[in-house]
Structure 1
Amino acid sequence: MLLDGEEWSNRFAAIRHEAWRLETLPQYLVPQEAEDLAAFREGRSLAPYTASPYTERVSRQRVEGKYNGRVHIVTQPLSSYLEFEFSRYYGVHVGAGDDIRILDVTGRPNPLEGVQDFWMFDRSEVVLMNYEADGTQINRTVFEGDVSAFVEYQRIAVAESVPFEEYVDGGHPA
């Protein structure tokens, strides 16, 4: 099943316990970010990013005892997109209650090699995030089948990663 629009948004609004994402790409081409990303790459200053509907939802759900998290798999040197994402969004998202972790696989085997991006909701539904090689999203599809492999991918990703703040405080670029 393809997901878009309100049907996609409802997945986040309806979580009972957890929404969790695995990010594997060095770049995501998101139309809403194009202007800010271009300014960042050109060294122009950007208006501060402080909140969004995403951060407001995460904050509200955190107060309700719900969990939002992700692990982003990266290699050094970081792409300019990841530098942008780290410096513009991740700190604000963490401040809102998003548990963002980084799995740096520079110089070591990737324990999740070949696993594609996905969102998992309440460890019972998986939505596969389908992208072109350049990070342009193709679509989102509901995974039809046993989600236990994705629960294991989440376990591995969390076990092998570090919190975003620890990653950037450890001298890695942000």
Structure 2
Amino acid sequence: MELISSAERNRLFETFEQDAFHLELRDDYTVPNEESPFTKWLSGEPDDLQWFEPWARDMRRVTADGRTVRRVRVVTQPHSPYIQWEHGLTDGNEEAGEDIRWLPRHLLPSDLHLPMGGSDWWLFDDRLLAVGHFDHEGRVLGSELIEDAAAVQECIRVRDLLWAMAIPHAEYKP
């Protein structure tokens, strides 16, 4: 299996045409550019969000072009500290043009089989998957690109189901 870096995956935002969708299934992420801001938050220190600005700038540009960027975050309740921190930052994602919804894990249908082995994934234009891979400590190893039609169709089905069930960020009260 060949993995691409997060930077290489982020370049897919330059080429997608209509819709990018992210299914987030983890309650904790160890993302290098977030470690310091998350640690600051844990200790009650203010955050100037400079680390977030490149992403927000890219999302403003992408969504100004009429493309959509959506996420469903499946989360355990009560929330982990990471999810509490992430929830507090989500207004910034939405101000940049993303549409984010939350789905408490206990509301997932009991018979739902999550595709891609239960890993997070981005789906671009209903044709290309970037499946996240993590090490045993939760650090991002990279993304695997998949264009297999059956895998893509299963992810579309799950995306549509979870999107309809999930709660828009403005309405989600943890």
* TM-score between the two structures when normalised by the length of structure 2: 0.86
1:37-57 CA-partner distances (Å, limit 9, x unpaired): 112112223335696121112
| Aligned-partner Cα distance in 1 for 2:107–2:157 | 23
RMSD: 2.2
- Say which SS state the counterpart of residue 72 (structure 1) adopts: strand
Which residue does the alignment assign to 1:155?
160
Q: CA, structure 1 residues 108+66, in 2 after alignment: closer, same or farther (shift >3 Å)?
A: closer
Q: Is the 8 A contact 2:68 2:98 kept in 1?
A: yes
Report percent identity of matched pairs: 25
Query: Secondary structure of 1:106's match?
Result: helix
In the alignment of these two chains, the number of paired residues is 168
- Structure 1 runs (4+) greater than 3 angstroms displaced: 48-51, 106-114
The Cα offsets for residues 15-69 of structure 1, whole Å up to 9 and x where unpaired, read as 1001110000001101111111112112223335696121112112222110001
In 2, the alpha carbon distance for the partners of 1:104 and 1:30 equals 22
> Residue 106 of structure 1 aligns with which residue?
106
Aligned to 2:37: 36
Is the helix fraction higher in 1 or 2?
Answer: 2
Matched, 1:141 2:139: no
The residue matched to 1:46 in structure 2 has which SS?
coil
1:97 maps to amino acid: G
In 2, the alpha carbon distance for the partners of 1:10 and 1:4 equals 10
1:15-94 correspondence runs (5 A): 15-47=16-48, 52-87=53-88, 89-94=89-94
Q: For each residue in 1:113-147, what CA deviation from the matched residue of structure 2 results, as whole angstroms up to 9, or x when unmatched?
A: 55320011111100110113442112211124121
d(CA) in 2 for partners of 1:148, 1:107:
23
How big is each residue's C-alpha offset from its partner over 1:54-100, in whole Å with a ceiling of 9 and x where there is no partner? Answer: 1112112222110001101001110000111111x211011111011
Supply the AA of the counterpart residue of 2:171: E
**Structure 1 unaligned residues grouped into runs of 5+:** none
State the distance in 2 between where 1:107 and 1:127 align.
Answer: 25
Aligned AA for 1:148?
Q
Task: Determine if contact 2:121/2:131 at 8 Å carries over to the other structure.
Answer: yes
Which amino acid in 2 is paired with 1:32?
N
The SS at the match of 2:118 is coil
Give the CA deviation at 1:9.
3.0
Aligned equivalents of 2:51 and 2:143: distance in 1? 28
Q: Which amino acid aligns with 1:159?
A: A
1:13 & 1:143 partners in 2: Cα distance? 18
What is the match of residue 130 of structure 1? 133
Provide the rounded CA distance (Å) in 1 between the counterparts of 2:154 and 2:24: 16
Checking the alignment, whether the CA contact within 8 Å between 1:50 and 1:92 is kept in structure 2 is no
